[in-house]
Amino acid sequence: MKSNLRKIFIYIVTNRRHYIILTSVFFLMQEWATEKLLWYSMSLGMLAGFLLEVPSGYLADRFGHKKTLILSKICMLIATLCYVFGWGYVYLMIASVFIALGFAFASGTIQAFTHETLESLWREDEYSGIMSKIKWKASLIQVATFALLPMLAEFNILIPFYIWIGIDLLGLWVATSLVQPVIHKKVKRIKNLREIMKEWQATDFYYVALFFSFIGSFFIGFTTFREPYLLSLDLAVFYIWIISAWSRLARRGFSHFTWRISKNVTLSQLMVFEMFFFAFYFLSVALLPNIYFVGVMLALGLGYRYARSPVISQYIIKQLPDQRYKSTALSMKSQLGMLFWVATPLLMWYFVSLDVFLWLYRDWIALRGVVLFMLLGLSWLLWKSKKQGL
């Protein structure tokens, strides 16, 4: 059973799409490609991921976490094969959909599987510390990858995709070799999704999930603007990769003290801090367009956001009335945020179709900071009201 922890680390590393930054470049290199088709492809992938986020989590809790992780890896492999061997817009659309499916099946499931592994070892209280350690080790691998992939892409942009076929095959083998955890609890009647969601209404789950999913969705949506914005600041493509590598090192640093958050900081204090910090993050990046300042802020913001995520997951899991449905809960949190993540490319799709997409990238980023602060403030007030009523 202890071998699961090593295998989970390898699985997480192989499930990262380090080549994702290259997909837009690869897409636009095709003779038939246009920016409008790129937005269509992104929107379709995001919509597929959104629609299947909660069903995939519930499927994982019913069908089995190990089987769902295998299914996730198969979807990722199909997507990579489409990039390498497919030709034409249809194959790239299929790749976008299967990447979204792969992330949807893994979202929440890998965290739930890790928690159950630790629970079977009677070490569930160590979840946030162990998960943080696994993720920052995976981030160190990413630092090396981010340095290597752009150099390989200079020779042939498909080389990183070929490499990832082998990595996906390794991840698929690891997923099949995982040991199903044995939970030391009495088996209860299986509940349907409606019963589970009704139980959650008696807790503060939805309010906590909504707050932190806003932050996650705005960060994921920010990837739409990040690279074009950095290029508009006359930053070379190679240095964009360097910033991504720095963010992994920052995550490594933040991981050392994230376990202290749950012990020394109340949830309310954490929510207030993040409300102001992440609003400042977006506004400062947009309104202070100095390449050095922007690079440092991007690295620190990304590093902190990912380093503290196991703490948030652990808090949510502890609040669940029925611990069997961890993956469903974490997937629900992701889907709440994806409501706003999906809205970004759909709105831009509409603006592009009307040929009125005239805003600067920094205007869109600044707007995200203002809207995020308002949404976080509202969700925090709703959470406080719910807590007072419990």
Report which residue type is found at 329: A
- Which residue stretches of the chain have pLDDT < 50? 184, 186-187, 356-358
Identify the CA nearest to 382 among candidates 210, 229, 261, 256: 210
pLDDT at res. 155: 74
- The per-residue b/e assignment along 234-248, b for 16 or more CB within 10 angstroms, e otherwise, is ebeeeebbbbbbbbb
DSSP 3-state percent helix, strand, coil across the chain (nearest 5): 85, 0, 15
The pLDDT of residue 357 is 45
Whole-number Å distance between alpha carbons of 174 and 168: 10
Res 73: pLDDT: 92
**Per-residue pLDDT at 66:** 87
- pLDDT in the model for residue 26: 62
Structure tokens that stand for 54 in this block: 């909660």
CB of 332 closer than 8 Å to CB of 54 = yes
**Which CATH superfamily, name and number, covers 3-179+186-389?**
MFS general substrate transporter like domains (1.20.1250.20)
Q: How far apart are CA 151 and CA 156, in angstroms?
A: 9
Dihedral sign of CA atoms 314, 320, 325, 328 in order: negative
Output the pLDDT for position 356.
45
Query: Residue 109: what pLDDT?
Result: 83
Helix (H) or strand (E) holding 183: none
> What's residue 188's pLDDT?
57
For residue range 105-139, list pLDDT tens digits in order. Answer: 887 788 888 888 888 887 777 776 777 778 777 77
